[in-house]
Structure 1
Amino acid sequence: MNKINQEVGKKIKAFRKSKNMSVQQFADVINKSKGTVSKYESGDISIDVVTLYQIAGALNIRVEQLLYYDLRQASSLNTIPSTFFKNSNRLFSYCYDGRSKELIRCVMDLLPEPDTNRYKTMFYMNVRSFESYQECENTYWGYTEHYDSITTIILKNQATPIENMTINILASFLETEKKWGLMSGVSFRPFMPISLKMLFSKIPLVENQELINELKISKDDIRIMKIYNMLAIT
């Protein structure tokens, strides 16, 4: 069985499940039989380009999100001026939701091929597990730009395009395994502008109370907010 077919099939299945669609419901949308869709998802048969775009449209995602990239061999990010992002096609990030008192896991994929000075970026927020991170609460599509002293990530919610998010990461030129970032945008629970501190890592972190305490707004954060009258993450 072709590995590429398997990986593409796994992504189709994950996105379908994240939309709460049964195999039959999805088959009806793309005008295929239930058996054919099952074979797509298992990787038993290849998918032609036209059908792949049709599937992406039915799932309300970009076709690039279904493609397979060998992250071990991809090398196009090794020339990025940002040391933290160098050779990193996938990053893991965390934030804390004080309303539900839950740790929120996120995954960010950067496509191996840069588009001019931008890197296409897919962001999956509130994932259930890193093994099937396409099954998440919200998916975003956008791009990443690296500057001398800051990295800026601009994202749009694929389900609700009115929701735009910007993430800024300072001093990404430093060699480190973790970096703090500030996400700013609009929340829909409730509907209002928000800013959120996020921790980015090259590898999944141990999810314990220590991590949660780091992600919470601290007394020092409040002290800085009082000084500048703004939420600042460095």
Structure 2
Amino acid sequence: MDVNKIIGQNIKKYRTAYNMTLKEMSDKLHKSISTISKYEKGEISLDMTTFLETAKILRISPSALLSGTSVLSNEHSETDHNAEVIYMYTYSGSEKEIVRSLIEQYPPVSPDDPYRVHLYNDVRDFKNPGSCSGFYTGDYSENGFLGTYILHNQISSTEHVMISCVKNLVNSNQQLGLVSGLSNYTMLPVVFKTVLSRSELTDRKHLMDLLTFSREDFRELKQSHCLVVRNVR
């Protein structure tokens, strides 16, 4: 796939994640709707000024628009712009269904910097993450076996989320953690379980076992007055 198509797909992904129409994007970028559509289809190239302005409008790093390709850095060495894709699962008790989300995790510029993160919450199709119910951006940092995501809702500025997880020594490709934050729906603090996986999970029974609170969870909550997730499965 050529660079124009990759950039175009990324523009469309982020635009739809913001629930932004082609008309709204054209007004912000001062381009015609037809031109924006051609950008998204990869039919025409963006000049550098338009490229940078597009990233600014979408409130993302310019390199995120290049995710899926490789370019030459100022030092003329190849820099990979591919984000690591992580599949995220939670359970909605009110809807009685598993909520599927997608995390794009961009490598840090230097070892001391955090990872840059984009979270597409509640997606129906992992191949089309822009069609989601919520778009979050933020950082991910690691400290030994511990990992922490700090994310901010880009649609509703009042909602912020923290995801705390521990590396799984039994299954290195899968992590079990806790999501906490202020719910945008109830405006109350909430905490729920999450599963993060480097591969798509399709076994509903297995996911339900991981995502729902067990008797052991409630027993420990009663004894210690804190919610603990043991990442051993």
Greater Cα shift, 168-177 or 181-190? 168-177
Instruction: Return the offset for 1:39.
Output: 0.9
**Structure 2: how far apart are the matches of 1:75 and 1:57?**
21
In the superposition, relative to structure 1, how do residues 76 and 127 fare at CA in structure 2: closer, same or farther (>3 Å)? closer
- Structure 1 match to 2:185: 189
**Structure 1: how far apart are the matches of 2:188 and 2:229?**
20
- 1:95 matched to 2:94? The reply is no
- Structure 2 match to 1:81: none
How many percent identity over aligned positions?
Answer: 28
**Structure 1: how far apart are the matches of 2:47 and 2:224?**
55
- Structure 2 match to 1:51: 50
The alignment yields a C-alpha RMSD, in angstroms, of: 2.7
In the superposition, relative to structure 1, how do residues 162 and 137 fare at CA in structure 2: closer, same or farther (>3 Å)? same
Question: Unaligned regions of 5+ residues in structure 1, if any?
Answer: 78-87
Instruction: Return the offset for 1:182.
Output: 0.9
| 8 Å Cα contact 1:76/1:114 also seen in 2 | no
In the superposition, relative to structure 1, how do residues 169 and 21 fare at CA in structure 2: closer, same or farther (>3 Å)? closer
List structure 1 runs of 4+ shifted beyond 6 angstroms.
73-77
SS at match of 2:126: coil
1:154-182 deviation line (CA, Å, top 9, x unaligned): 11112223322111112457652211011
Instruction: Return the offset for 1:60.
Output: 4.7
Instruction: Return the offset for 1:42.
Output: 0.4
Question: Unaligned regions of 5+ residues in structure 2, if any?
Answer: 71-77
| 8 Å Cα contact 2:67/2:81 also seen in 1 | no
In the superposition, relative to structure 1, how do residues 50 and 227 fare at CA in structure 2: closer, same or farther (>3 Å)? farther
Q: What amino acid is the match of 2:7?
A: V
Structure-2-length-normalised TM-score? 0.83
- Alignment length, in residue pairs? 222
**Structure 1: how far apart are the matches of 2:229 and 2:212?**
12
**Structure 1: how far apart are the matches of 2:81 and 2:37?**
34
Structure-1-length-normalised TM-score? 0.82
Greater Cα shift, 179-188 or 8-17? 8-17
Alignment map for 1:30-179 (pairs within 5 Å) = 30-70=29-69, 89-115=84-110, 116-171=112-167, 176-179=172-175
